[in-house]
Structure 1
Amino acid sequence: MTDSSRRTALDALHRALGATMTDFAGWDMPLRYGSERDEHLAVRTRAGLFDLSHMGEITLTGPQAADALDHALVGNIGKLAVGRARYTMICNAEGGILDDLIVYRLQDERFMVVANASNAQVVLDALTERASGFDTEVRDDREAYALIAVQGPESPGILKSLTDADLDGLKYYAGLPGTVAGVQALIARTGYTGEDGFELFVAPEDAETVWQALTEAGEPAGLVPCGLSCRDTLRLEAGMPLYGHELTTSTTPFDAGLGRVVKFEKAGDFVGRTALEAAAKRAESSPPRKLVGLIAEGRRVPRAGYAVVTAGDGTVIGEVTSGAPSPTLGKPVAIAYVDAGHAEPGTAGVAVDIRGSQEEYEVVALPFYKRQR
C-alpha cells in the first residue's frame, strides 16, 4: 500500500481475515483471502462476499435529472422505471468509451450513477459539465456509501434471512430500499460474476455490521470472502467487459459488440451521437475487428496485450484484451479483438504468441460460461 491509497470501511476486517491487499485505482483492496480458485468456485457453486466500496457513486436530483442523463449518456434513461437499473455507457464526442456504468432510478427525480473506481472522477467531471443548463444537481456521493456484494446461487437464501425486502419480487437489474441486518440499504439485484446475486449500498459506518451478518448467515451455505482476483476470472468467464481492457476511449460500444446499449431512438441529442451513428454503420457493413472468446488447446495462459496470430506464418490478426486460467472450464481462456475474417466461432488456425511461441486457440462465441436459470 502507498501512503496515498484510500481504505474502505472494511479495511481492518480484511486484514484480520488475512487478505492479500493490492493497490487498485488508488484504493487498497483485497486481492484474495486464500486460494483464488477456491473463491471463484465458491461463487459458482455456493456464494461469495465482496467489498466493492471502491466503486464511484454519483447522484443526480431535480426536475431535469433524466434529461441531463439522456444528454450525457448513450442510454435511454428517461424511460427507466423507478426501482430499476440499466447498464449503459458514457462516451466522448468521438464515440470513444469513457466508462461503462450502471444507473439506478431511485425516485422520479433521483438517480444514482455507479462508475468504475478508476474512472469515477472522469465520470463525475463529465456529468457535471454535461448537466450544466439542466435543472439538476450533480453530487459526488463516493464517501456516502460502502458497497458489499453477495454473489452465487446460495445468495438469495442467505440474504433473505437478514432482510425485510421482497427478494422474490426483485428482478435482475432492479433495486429497492430495505433493511439488511437492521440497517438501511439499497438492495440491488446486480453483479459482475455471471451468477445471481445482490449489491448492497450501505452507509460506511454500517458496512462491518452487514459484512459480519452475511458471513454468519452464509456459513452453513459455504459462503466465503472473495477478492478482486476471482472477481476478474468470474467476469471473464461470463464474457463481461472490463474498462481498460475490452473498453477504452479508442473503442466504441459497437466495436465491443455492445451497440445495443446505444439508444438512437431517444429524444434530443446526446454526446457522441454523430460519431456513434457512423460507428454503427461501420459495424454493420465491414467491422475491422470483433470481440471473441479464445479457449486454449494447451496450458499456457495468454495475457492482455499478447498478439493473436495465424498459426504457422504468425501474421498478426488481433490482440488479447483479457486472459486467465478458467477454474470452471479447467483450461486457459482469453477475450480478444480479432480481424473479422477470423472471428467466426470454430475458425481454424488461430494462435496466440506467448513469449515467442505460438499456442493454438479455439475461437468461440462469448460468454464462456452461462448459468442455468
Structure 2
Amino acid sequence: MSDTPLLRTPLFENHVALGAKMVPFAGWEMPVQYSGIVPEHQAVRKAVGVFDISHMGQFIVSGDDALAFLNRSLTNDVSKLEIGQGQYSLMLNDAGGVIDDLILYRTSQLEYFVVVNASMIDVDWAHLRSLLSSEEDVHMANLSDATAGLAVQGPKSRAVFEKIFGSEAVFPPHNSIFVSADDAGFMWLCGTGYTGEDGFEFFSPASNASAWFDKIVAAVREEGGVPCGLGARDTLRLEMGYPLNGNDLSPAKTPLEAGLGFFVAMEKEAFTGKAALTSQKKAGLPSKLAAFKMTGTAPPPRPHYPVAYNGEIVGEVASGTQSPSLSAGIGMVYLPTEAAKIGTAIEIEIRGRRFPAEIVKKPFYRKDGV
C-alpha cells in the first residue's frame, strides 16, 4: 500500500457535502457513488448525470511542428483534424504496447488540446517530452493542476446545456471542441463522453469548479438526473465496450490485439510502435480482446478472475461487472484468437467455481435493443 497521500480534485468538498462515498482511484480520492451505482447508471441511460473528471490530465501542444510531432507520437492521423475537431488516439511504446489512450483536439491551426488518463499524466508527459527534438518548433504546457473538468451525459444533456449556457449556445457536435475565454479564464467545451449517450465535457480553471458543479447539479436534478460517481461511469463504459487503460489496455498488449485498429493509421510514414505493429500483423495476432456475457445465473465477473476455454485456463478477466441495463454479467478478456470468435463458449472461474459465458459482439448495450 502506497504511503503517498491521495490527491483531491477541486470538487472534493462538494462531493462530501452531497454525501458521496469517496474511494482511492488512480492516486486520487474520488466519489464512487452518491445515491448508488445502479440508480446513477439508470439516470444516465434515461435522463442525465454529471461526473467529476477533474482528475484527468490536459496538455497543450503548439507550434509550427506540432502536427508532425503529434503524428509520429500517436497512432491516429492528426492531419485529418480540422480546427474544432477531436479524435481518439493511442500512445504506444516501441514494442507497440499501449501506454495510454487519449482524446486529441485541434483548437487552432498550430495548437492542440490533449486529454489523458489520470493515472498516466506524469508518464504521458515524460514520454512525449522524450520524443521531442530540440530542432522542432513545438511548445508543451501541462495544465492538469490548474484545470477542473465535468462530464454531463445522458438523453437530457442538451436540456442541461441550454439551462447552463443559454438556448442560443451551440451544443458541441460529437468529437468537436469549442474554446472560449473571458475574465475567468479559458474554457474547453467538448462533444465527447465515455458512456455511449449524448453529452458534453468541459474543462475550466480549477478556481471556478465548485460554482460550475453546483450550477450543473441543480440543472441536472431539474431534468430528473443525479450527480454520478466512478462506479456508474465504469458500468456505463463497459456496456459500450469502451476500454479502460490499465485493465483492457496495457503496455503488454497492442491496439491491434485490443480491437482498436481503426484508430491506428498504418498508412502514416512513421509513428512510435509502427514497426512492431507491422510485424505483428504479418505474423498474426497472438490474442484478441473479446467481449463476453454470462449465460446463466452467476455472481458478477470481476477483473483478474480466471477464464477457461475447452477446460483450460487461457486468460483472466480484464474488465467485468454486472450490467444494470442487461441484468447480466459482462466483461472483456484477452483470448487466443481461435477462442475470441463470436459465439464461443468459455467459463469464468469465480470463487473456485466455473460459470458459463459466451463471446458476444460489442457493444453489449444498444439503445434499439438489437
Paired residue for 2:17?
Answer: 16
Q: Decide which of 210, 215, 226 is 2:228's aligned counterpart.
A: 226
Question: Do 1:163 and 1:179's aligned partners in 2 also have CA atoms closer than 8 Å?
Answer: no
1:168 offset after TM fit, Å? 5.4
Distance change in 2, residues 1:219/1:138 (3 Å): same
Question: Do 1:131 and 1:138's aligned partners in 2 also have CA atoms closer than 8 Å?
Answer: no
Q: Deviations over 1:253-310 (max 9, x none)?
A: 10101011111223x422111111112334xxx4332222211111311111122113
Question: Do 2:58 and 2:144's aligned partners in 1 also have CA atoms closer than 8 Å?
Answer: yes
Query: Structure 1 residues 128-137 or 101-110, which shifts more?
Result: 128-137
* Alpha-carbon distance between aligned partners in 1 of 2:320 and 2:7, rounded to the nearest angstrom: 28
Query: Structure 1 residues 150-159 or 21-30, which shifts more?
Result: 21-30
Paired residue for 2:127?
Answer: 126
Give the 4+ runs in structure 1 shifted more than 6 A.
none
> 1:101 is paired with a residue of what secondary structure?
strand
Paired residue for 1:290?
Answer: 288
Question: Do 1:99 and 1:123's aligned partners in 2 also have CA atoms closer than 8 Å?
Answer: yes
Q: Deviations over 1:143-168 (max 9, x none)?
A: 22101010011001111222158765
Paired residue for 1:321?
Answer: 318
Counterpart residue identity of residue 263, structure 1: A
1:220 offset after TM fit, Å? 2.2
Question: Do 1:42 and 1:223's aligned partners in 2 also have CA atoms closer than 8 Å?
Answer: yes
Paired residue for 2:255?
Answer: 253
Distance change in 2, residues 1:257/1:101 (3 Å): same
Q: What does 1:195-344 align with in structure 2 at a 5 Å threshold?
A: 195-266=197-268, 268-282=269-283, 286-296=284-294, 297-310=296-309, 314-344=311-341
Q: What does 1:1-373 align with in structure 2 at a 5 Å threshold?
A: 4-132=5-133, 133-163=135-165, 170-178=172-180, 185-266=187-268, 268-282=269-283, 286-296=284-294, 297-310=296-309, 314-348=311-345, 350-372=346-368
> 2:298 is paired with a residue of what secondary structure?
coil
* Alpha-carbon distance between aligned partners in 1 of 2:3 and 2:223, rounded to the nearest angstrom: 37
Counterpart residue identity of residue 115, structure 1: V
Question: Do 1:239 and 1:366's aligned partners in 2 also have CA atoms closer than 8 Å?
Answer: yes
* Alpha-carbon distance between aligned partners in 2 of 1:74 and 1:88, rounded to the nearest angstrom: 6
Question: Do 1:52 and 1:146's aligned partners in 2 also have CA atoms closer than 8 Å?
Answer: yes
Superposition TM-score, scaled by structure 1 size: 0.93
> 1:247 is paired with a residue of what secondary structure?
coil
Counterpart residue identity of residue 81, structure 1: E
Query: Structure 1 residues 268-277 or 88-97, which shifts more?
Result: 268-277
Question: Do 1:58 and 1:113's aligned partners in 2 also have CA atoms closer than 8 Å?
Answer: yes
Superposition TM-score, scaled by structure 2 size: 0.93
* Alpha-carbon distance between aligned partners in 1 of 2:340 and 2:23, rounded to the nearest angstrom: 35
Question: Do 2:301 and 2:331's aligned partners in 1 also have CA atoms closer than 8 Å?
Answer: yes
* Alpha-carbon distance between aligned partners in 1 of 2:142 and 2:320, rounded to the nearest angstrom: 34
* Alpha-carbon distance between aligned partners in 2 of 1:281 and 1:372, rounded to the nearest angstrom: 38
1:77 offset after TM fit, Å? 1.0
Unaligned runs of 5+ in 1: none
* Alpha-carbon distance between aligned partners in 2 of 1:65 and 1:300, rounded to the nearest angstrom: 49
* Alpha-carbon distance between aligned partners in 1 of 2:327 and 2:276, rounded to the nearest angstrom: 41
1:372 offset after TM fit, Å? 5.0
Counterpart residue identity of residue 334, structure 1: G
Counterpart residue identity of residue 191, structure 1: G
Q: Kindly report the root-mean-square deviation, in angstroms, between the aligned alpha carbons of the 2 structures.
A: 2.1
Counterpart residue identity of residue 103, structure 1: L
Counterpart residue identity of residue 290, structure 2: V
* Alpha-carbon distance between aligned partners in 1 of 2:244 and 2:4, rounded to the nearest angstrom: 27
1:49 offset after TM fit, Å? 0.6
Counterpart residue identity of residue 333, structure 1: I
> 2:10 is paired with a residue of what secondary structure?
coil
* Alpha-carbon distance between aligned partners in 2 of 1:184 and 1:288, rounded to the nearest angstrom: 45
Distance change in 2, residues 1:29/1:237 (3 Å): same
Question: Do 1:69 and 1:131's aligned partners in 2 also have CA atoms closer than 8 Å?
Answer: no
1:57 offset after TM fit, Å? 0.7
1:365 offset after TM fit, Å? 1.1
Q: Deviations over 1:98-119 (max 9, x none)?
A: 1001011111111111110111
